Structure 1
Amino acid sequence: MGRKQTSGLRKRGEFWHIEKQVLGRKLFESTGTSNLKAAELMLARRIEEVRQAQVFGARPKRIFRQAATRYLEENMHLATIDKCAHHLKQFDPFIGDLELHQVHMGTLLPFITARKKLGRKNKSVNLALSVVRRILNLSARLWRDENGLTWLDTAPLIQLLPLNDARQPYPLSWDEQYALFRVLPDHLSRMCLFKVNTGCRDQEVCQLKWEWEIVVPELDTSVFLIPGERVKNREDRLVVLNRIAQSVVDSVRGQHADYVFTYRSQPVERINNNGWKRARRQLNLPVRVHDLKHTFGRRLRAAGVPLETRKILLGHRNGDITSHYSAPELEELIEAANRVCEGKSGKTPALVVLRHRAINH
């Protein structure tokens, strides 16, 4: 005879599910296992947790992986959710099976050490630590079970690493820009030329859509308004086109129905791909994709563009409603953006000084 099924467990699909009423509380949840013995052990543990919580006010034990899963499920709307998931996947071998109260700087140290051995900068490690800190804070302050108990008694102090190894921005000189863009594949060269003339982030360029283009007939030009949910700071991003950026857009107009920049009729996932890396190695340039945004910002500053105008052109958070600009205001922004279109003849002493400082330090 086959083994009698345990009361409170039901096989649905691949996994066993708990379906039982304990001390007036109904348990309906998956065990996440197809092994009956393991499911029985999990059922016994959950029954005891409910009894301890209701009779003695004891907090059920939860592992970090459960909290990480809940965080991802509740924050799918975040523009950075993919990066959060990536960080949590890296953490899982180190703290995934630890109970929440066991996650602290001591147990995070092996992760930090491993990332540093791989050559990761402190800023990169801090981004990952910030996700863990957020989850622990939510567990201690917001997330509560059916008995009103928070998932965690108190959140430990998660200290971020000092940014003493931060890489300095590397704004391109005009000669370096010309050399780099010549050896890039054509589709990347166009994207980078657009980026260095608009200050857009990598994903803002890769995901740029024609539906976001707004024609400004009074100025015989157009701008793009990227929705806030596609922007890192969650604010609508006004992309002003100087004459070079406008020419890049016009050169690809009609190539794809939805996306401005494509490769073989498909959107480009990221600029920092093999084509970019080969070109950078060929020229032995320590430039990152994000340095194109720095280059635009430095050139604006060198051209005497005021700070508030630079913030708008670079898409920095400044509290303004960027979707409301009059034609004269747009004209002023376009004129400011055009100041970085001078090419070699427009090299400024300020940029030369910055380049010498970067090399000497």
Structure 2
Amino acid sequence: MAREIGVFKRPDSRFYWINVTLPNGKRLRQSAGTESREEAEAYLAKLTLDAYREAHFGIKPERSWQDAVVRYLELKASLRSFRDVQRICRQLHPYVGGLTLNQISGDVVWTIAQGELKRGNKPATVNRYLALIRNLLHMARDEWQWIDNFPKIRMLSGEVERDRWLTREEAERLIQVCPSHLAALVRFALATGLRAREITGLEWNRVDLSRRTAWLNQTKNGTPRGVPLNHDAVVVLQEQIGLHPQSCFTYRGKPIGWDVTNTAWHNAIKKAELEDFRFHDLRHTWASWHRQAGTSCDELKDLGGWKSRVMVDRYAKFATEHLQAAASRIEEGRGGNVVSLSRLRHGHK
């Protein structure tokens, strides 16, 4: 039986289907997504016109924000932060869900930023929305060739950088009040700087205690990497041997597959008398301790698995050894190159 051409109805679908070769040579066989023949024919007419303009005049067809989001999410599906990406896309839908990519102007971006600020979101949260828009439009222009340009998107000022970390005494206090399974997670995070999901997802087949190395196959940025294990990290892992054949960290004999910031975590934070402290702040603590101990920013970047120095430079303030010589130049009794201002004022008399 010959396949139908144009707009037709399939017996196994309530929608009309399209089967044509467009003016640009592209073969198209897909659902029109409608039960109305008139709407299906109108949709085909639009596709035909777009293809003709592209083939004969080099005019790119209009692409919708929704089409771009579908492809964007397919590309981001392997990220550990995929749920956050989905959530932000849903949050942006009321603003841009009905627009084409070419309709996303500077005014649209401004409306999104102001709308989210009025909803009570902080600049840091709004900047995550703007960053996703900018990243998606970059891909649509540079990789997919869907658009030729897009508006310049600047991040909002006023974002307060989180600077929460523990002293050694506070860290010990937290460990002491944690149940054993949670204490192991905390100690390992402080020893390695790994994120919560990287720790709970660690398996024995990716650990070599003799070489003091672990390998992560799923990280936040999607890039596998090796993690050197110091003595403290090795001790924690040795304590977990025999508890589970596959997973390194468990609770009551089962792998930890839930969010670690549950009731046990909040109770421990309260007992340790810590305020405004999240599990991810253990990573900040680890990095801060490293810089205070003299670890360079380049070494810290590699240890923490960051792709650039931008995220690492925030910890530069914790290392002051290279400024000691400069600070000592005006020590009392040394004088150095300090010139008396009173002598300068009255020297001409």
Q: Using the TM superposition, give the Cα deviation of residue 153 of structure 1 relative to its aligned residue in structure 2, in angstroms.
A: 3.0
CA 1:42–1:275: 2 relative to 1, 3 Å: farther
Contact 1:208/1:259 (8 A) holds in 2: yes
CA 1:240–1:118: 2 relative to 1, 3 Å: farther
Q: How does 1:304-343 map to 2 (within 5 A)?
A: 304-305=294-295, 309-317=299-307
Q: How does 1:250-329 map to 2 (within 5 A)?
A: 250-264=238-252, 265-280=254-269, 283=273, 285-305=275-295, 309-317=299-307
Name the counterpart of 2:336.
none
Gaps of 5+ in 2: 310-319, 321-349
Name the counterpart of 2:31.
30
Name the counterpart of 2:148.
153
CA 1:21–1:312: 2 relative to 1, 3 Å: closer
Gaps of 5+ in 1: 144-149, 320-349, 351-361
Equivalent position amino acid for 1:295 in 2: T
Q: Using the TM superposition, give the Cα deviation of residue 240 of structure 1 relative to its aligned residue in structure 2, in angstroms.
A: 1.2
Q: Which has the higher contact order (CA 8 A, sep 6+)?
A: 1
Q: Using the TM superposition, give the Cα deviation of residue 64 of structure 1 relative to its aligned residue in structure 2, in angstroms.
A: 0.6
Q: Using the TM superposition, give the Cα deviation of residue 235 of structure 1 relative to its aligned residue in structure 2, in angstroms.
A: 5.3
Contact 2:177/2:268 (8 A) holds in 1: yes
Q: How does 1:1-361 map to 2 (within 5 A)?
A: 7-11=6-10, 12-13=12-13, 15-23=15-23, 25-34=26-35, 36-78=37-79, 80-117=81-118, 119-143=120-144, 150-162=145-157, 164-216=158-210, 222-227=212-217, 229-230=218-219, 232=221, 234=223, 236-243=225-232, 245-264=233-252, 265-280=254-269, 283=273, 285-305=275-295, 309-317=299-307
Partners of 1:124 and 1:151 in 2: how far apart?
28
Name the counterpart of 2:323.
none
Which of 1 and 2 has greater Rg?
2
Q: Using the TM superposition, give the Cα deviation of residue 66 of structure 1 relative to its aligned residue in structure 2, in angstroms.
A: 0.5
Partners of 1:155 and 1:307 in 2: how far apart?
35
Q: Using the TM superposition, give the Cα deviation of residue 284 of structure 1 relative to its aligned residue in structure 2, in angstroms.
A: 5.1
Partners of 1:116 and 1:237 in 2: how far apart?
40
Contact 1:67/1:135 (8 A) holds in 2: yes
Q: If the length of structure 2 is used for normalisation, what is the TM-score?
A: 0.73
**Which region of structure 1 is more displaced relative to structure 2, 50-59 or 93-102?**
50-59
Q: If the length of structure 1 is used for normalisation, what is the TM-score?
A: 0.71
Partners of 1:20 and 1:99 in 2: how far apart?
24
Count how many residue pairs are aligned between Structure 1 and Structure 2. Answer: 303
**Which region of structure 1 is more displaced relative to structure 2, 193-202 or 293-302?**
293-302
CA 1:248–1:51: 2 relative to 1, 3 Å: same
Partners of 1:48 and 1:10 in 2: how far apart?
22
- Give a deviation string over 1:3-34, Cα, whole Å, max 9, x none: xx994234354643321234454322333345
Contact 2:179/2:264 (8 A) holds in 1: yes
